[in-house]
């Protein structure tokens, strides 16, 4: 009798197990620091709790450059993750090959969010041939992170929202100090990644342009007088004023590390540095908008959840992307400090504007939204931007004349611009 009962119990257990829905796997690849990874883990856990039919396998590549290489290799091999994060400036090579599934139609049918819920400045950069390819996760801008303690020690007021290039330069010079008497600064007033993307806002602020047409660029416009003037002004911060680490100093310790160590007063970055900066205990810090010249301008920094066209279970993958961009999903990721939410309701909520969390002046990111501009996202833009960046770096570190570097950048980038690379 006991044997019969045991057999019946086993049979019931097996039957109940077989009645559970079979789980389907979704692969999701991200980049970022450990605080970002923890946020994505929470996002995945929340999605799985509401979707027992799904299991999300999370792949984390800490370094962004390594992530881009892995992403390109996976797409080339025909085996990308089901959900990937892409910056708008890097969708062109994939979009041109039809490698991304347009998500606009899915969003139109969504009962969770609509296109009107997002900042249009976040949506527009991810359109290709009129179609929305990816759903933006964030909408950041380039801002000035500053060490309040160093400002206090120098007797300088903190940056105002309406400060100018002249104020910015004066502060950078005052905050650059030789602490050991060897005639080389040990503390610098300013640091930033020397790239075309970092130069762009200053070019726009001065009335210049980076390209002749953002949506269909055929030529870099770096040699226009206003553009060249802005480039020259930025380069002088290093070559003339020595307020920025030189090539040797930057190679020994990059500017962001110097900021973290308390030996660099101002650092230009988007929102993505916040999870790391929140771990600073040695000094107080906050953010300010970029200084202005003839106009206010900053660069759109936006990443989006994208679905490769090769995905098999598109409906389930969309459910995950839809959840990630719901109020609940964006609130989870916003808690890490990493993003300026692309959903207006989340960006205006305590999830982002938490008065107990640094930066205290987070509203700067929202106030800059009307002044954001995008760089191109054409198929050849990644190559054009990288080549131009290399030439600007030569000039910035005194290895080439400014006009020589600018003309070289225009010449080298030219093959990757024009009709052949248009959306």
Q: Which residues pair with 100 in a beta bridge?
A: 308
Q: Are 208 and 230 in contact (CB under 8 A)?
A: yes
Q: Which domain holds residue 193?
A: 143-299+378-421
Interhelix angle 381-396/196-205, rounded to 10 degrees, is 80
Closest C-alpha to 20, from 45, 47, 55: 55
Sign of CA dihedral 245, 227, 197, 93: negative
Do 152 and 241 sit in the same domain of this protein? yes
Residue with tokens 């002749």: 212
Do 240 and 355 sit in the same domain of this protein? no
* The token pair that represents 363 in the structure block: 């509203």
Give the DSSP per-residue string, 67-126: HHHHHHHHHHHT---SEEEEEGGGSHHHHHTT-B---HHHHHH-SS--GGGB-HHHHGGG
Do 266 and 119 sit in the same domain of this protein? no
Q: Which residues pair with 405 in a beta bridge?
A: none
Do 107 and 162 sit in the same domain of this protein? no
Residue 283 lies in a domain: yes
Q: Which residues pair with 263 in a beta bridge?
A: none
pLDDT for the residue 418: 82
Do 243 and 384 sit in the same domain of this protein? yes
C-alpha separations of 120 from 205, 338, 341, 342, 387 in Å: 22, 20, 12, 9, 30
Do 295 and 305 sit in the same domain of this protein? no
Residue with tokens 């005194």: 398
**Which residues, in sequence order, are CB contacts of 15 under 8 Å at separation 6+?**
none
What strands lie across the sheet with 285-289, from one edge to the other? 188-191, 264-269, 143-147, 285-289
Residue 373 lies in a domain: no
Do 396 and 294 sit in the same domain of this protein? yes
Task: Look up the pTM and report it.
Answer: 0.92
Three-class secondary structure of residue 273 per DSSP: helix
Residue 79 lies in a domain: yes
Do 272 and 313 sit in the same domain of this protein? no
Do 313 and 226 sit in the same domain of this protein? no
Rounded to an integer, what distance in angstroms lies between the CA atom of residue 287 and that of residue 278? 12
Do 273 and 348 sit in the same domain of this protein? no
Rounded to an integer, what distance in angstroms lies between the CA atom of residue 205 and that of residue 260? 28
**Which residues, in sequence order, are CB contacts of 323 under 8 Å at separation 6+?**
43, 46, 47, 50, 51, 112, 329
- Report the CATH number at residue 203: 3.40.190.10
Do 317 and 238 sit in the same domain of this protein? no
Residue 9 lies in a domain: no
* Eight-class DSSP state of 303: E
Rounded to an integer, what distance in angstroms lies between the CA atom of residue 168 and that of residue 291? 6
Do 293 and 339 sit in the same domain of this protein? no
Give the DSSP per-residue string, 335-396: TTT---BSBHHHHTSTTTS-TTSS-TTTHHHHHHGGGEE-----TTHHHHHHHHHHHHHHHH
Rounded to an integer, what distance in angstroms lies between the CA atom of residue 391 and that of residue 177? 29
Strands 127-128 and 131-132: antiparallel
Three-class secondary structure of residue 285 per DSSP: strand
Q: Which residues of 48-83 are buried (b: 16+ CB within 10 A; e: fewer)?
A: beebeebebebebbeeeeebbebbeebbeeeebbbb
Q: Are 56 and 317 in contact (CB under 8 A)?
A: no
**Which residues, in sequence order, are CB contacts of 318 under 8 Å at separation 6+?**
103, 106, 307
Residue 194 lies in a domain: yes
By residue count, the chain amounts to: 423
Q: Are 261 and 233 in contact (CB under 8 A)?
A: no
Span between the terminal Cα atoms of the chain, in Å: 75
CA 283 to chain centre: 25
Give the DSSP per-residue string, 216-268: S--SB-TTSHHHHHHHHHHHHHHHTS--S--HHHHHHS-HHHHHHTT-EEEEE
Q: How many independent structural domains does the chain possess?
A: 2
pLDDT for the residue 180: 83
pLDDT in tens, the chain (423 residues): 445 444 444 444 444 444 455 789 999 999 988 888 999 999 999 999 999 999 999 999 999 999 999 999 999 999 999 999 999 999 999 999 999 999 999 999 999 999 999 999 999 999 999 999 999 999 999 999 999 999 999 999 999 999 999 999 999 999 999 988 888 899 999 999 999 999 999 999 999 999 999 999 999 999 999 999 999 999 999 999 999 999 999 999 999 999 999 999 999 999 999 999 999 999 999 999 999 999 999 999 999 999 999 999 999 999 999 999 999 999 999 999 999 999 999 999 999 999 999 999 999 999 999 999 999 999 999 999 999 999 999 999 999 999 999 999 999 999 999 865 666
Q: Are 324 and 318 in contact (CB under 8 A)?
A: no
């Amino acid at each position: 009798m006991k044997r019969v009962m045991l057999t019946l119990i086993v049979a019931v257990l097996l039957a109940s197990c077989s009645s559970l829905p079979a789980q389907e796997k979704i692969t999701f690849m991200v980049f970022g620091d450990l605080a970002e990874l923890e946020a994505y883990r929470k996002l995945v856990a929340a999605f799985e709790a509401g979707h027992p039919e799904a299991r999300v396998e999370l792949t984390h590549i800490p370094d962004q450059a390594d992530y881009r290489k892995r992403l390109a290799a996976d797409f080339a091999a025909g085996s990308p993750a089901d959900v990937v994060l892409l910056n708008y400036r890097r969708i062109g090579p994939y979009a041109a090959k039809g490698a991304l599934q347009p998500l606009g139609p899915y969003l139109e049918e969504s009962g969770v969010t609509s296109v009107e819920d997002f900042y249009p400045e976040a949506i527009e950069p991810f359109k290709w041939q009129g179609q929305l390819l990816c759903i933006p996760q964030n909408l950041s801008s380039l801002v000035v992170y500053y060490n309040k303690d160093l400002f206090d020690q120098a007797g300088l007021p903190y940056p105002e929202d309406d400060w100018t290039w002249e104020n910015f330069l004066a502060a950078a010079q005052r905050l650059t100090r030789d602490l050991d008497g060897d005639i080389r600064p040990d503390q610098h007033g300013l640091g930033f990644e020397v790239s075309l993307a970092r130069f762009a806002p200053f070019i726009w602020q001065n009335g210049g342009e980076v390209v002749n047409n953002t949506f269909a660029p055929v030529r870099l416009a770096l040699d226009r007088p206003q553009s060249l003037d802005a480039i020259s002004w930025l380069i002088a911060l290093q070559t003339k004023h020595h307020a920025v680490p030189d090539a040797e100093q930057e190679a020994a310790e990059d500017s962001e590390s110097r900021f973290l160590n308390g030996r660099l007063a101002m650092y230009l970055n988007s929102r993505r540095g916040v999870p790391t900066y929140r771990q600073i205990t040695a000094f107080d810090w906050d953010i300010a908008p970029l200084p202005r010249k003839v106009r206010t301008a900053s660069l759109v920094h936006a990443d989006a959840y994208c679905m490769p066209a090769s995905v098999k279970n598109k409906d389930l993958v969309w459910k995950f992307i839809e959840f990630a961009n719901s109020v609940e999903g964006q609130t989870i990721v916003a808690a890490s400090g990493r993003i300026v939410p692309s959903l207006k309701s989340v960006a205006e909520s305590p999830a982002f504007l938490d008065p107990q969390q640094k930066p205290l002046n987070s509203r700067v990111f929202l106030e800059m939204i009307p002044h954001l501009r995008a760089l191109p996202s054409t198929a050849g833009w990644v190559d054009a931007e990288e080549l131009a960046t290399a030439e600007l770096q030569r000039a910035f570190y005194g290895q080439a004349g400014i006009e020589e570097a600018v003309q070289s950048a225009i010449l080298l980038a030219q093959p990757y611009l024009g009709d052949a690379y248009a959306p």
